[in-house]
Amino acid sequence: MADAGIVRVQHCGVAIFCRRTPLRCPACGRPLPRAGLLAAPRRLPSPFRHGHRQPCAFLLRPTAGAFLGEYDGKSDLHVGISNNNGVVYHYNEEGVHRAETGWEQCISVPLVQPDMFGLLQQWDELLEEFSVGEAWLPHRYEEHDHNCYTYALAFVNSILTAQGKRQMSKSEFTEKFVIPQTKKASKYITVHRELTANDFYIVPLPDEEKQC
């Protein structure tokens, strides 16, 4: 499902989310000012990325449907690792898959900095070599203890080990890298859903952000 874009306008103590900036404030009815930094409409950046255009990244998407479609915020997420060409390696009960489609709307956590040339050059080979290991055969899959997240994090930790760095636990990786992204996504999904049903979504601003 395509994202039509969301605009945020601040006025009369509220944040107004909409697809197109109105001439008048839907909260107070007064004309919206066209000047001033705080009053200027701002496009709300989407937290979602085209996974096949995100090289060397940890990717999350709903197991079924899309974030801006059927996803209810509670359903399971599926994770994978992309190579330099945007092929997404992911693991389930059928083993490791190498997907060239299906990850067009994801949360993306970059794993390699642009200046890490040596790792970038080796990434695809390391990912392929890791993925053919016996640990990721279909019969080894277990929904709660040996799943897609286990696979992706194990690969990340194999890279950290090769670099002489400390491995990360699931809770540590999730808290540091995943939760900040999913929080942004959750807020965006809420606004998107409201604007699917209504022209505006109005949220009171904290006192320190309020302006006339």
Kindly indicate the confidence band of residue 210, based on its pLDDT and cuts at 50, 70 and 90: low
Residue 11 scores a pLDDT above 80: yes
Note the pLDDT of residue 203.
Answer: 94
Q: Which residues contact 188 (CB under 8 A, 6 or more apart)?
A: 6, 44, 46, 47, 48
Kindly indicate the confidence band of residue 73, based on its pLDDT and cuts at 50, 70 and 90: confident
* Mean pLDDT computed over every residue of the chain: 91
Separation of CA 154 from chain center: 20
- The more confidently predicted of residues 113 and 210 is 113
Look at the block and give the residue holding tokens 């053919």: 132
Instruction: Quick: pLDDT tens for 86-109.
Output: 999 999 999 999 999 999 999 999
Q: What percent of the chain has a predicted confidence (pLDDT) above 70? A: 93
Q: What are phi and psi of 160, to 5 degrees?
A: -60, -40
Note the pLDDT of residue 36.
Answer: 56
Per DSSP, what are the bridge partners of residue 89?
Answer: 81, 98
Instruction: Quick: pLDDT tens for 169-179.
Output: 999 999 999 99
Separation of CA 42 from chain center: 20
Beta strands per DSSP E along 45-133: 57-62, 77-82, 88-92, 95-99, 107-110
Instruction: Quick: pLDDT tens for 116-168.
Output: 888 999 999 999 999 999 999 999 999 999 999 999 999 999 999 999 999 99
Note the pLDDT of residue 212.
Answer: 44
Region 39-58: mean pLDDT is: 92
- Quote the tokens at residue 80: 């994978």
Per-domain residue ranges of the chain: 7-45+194-209, 48-168
The pTM score is: 0.87
| Residue 27 identity | A
- The more confidently predicted of residues 184 and 36 is 184
Note the pLDDT of residue 2.
Answer: 52
The rounded distance, in Å, linking the Cα atoms of 161 and 167 is 7
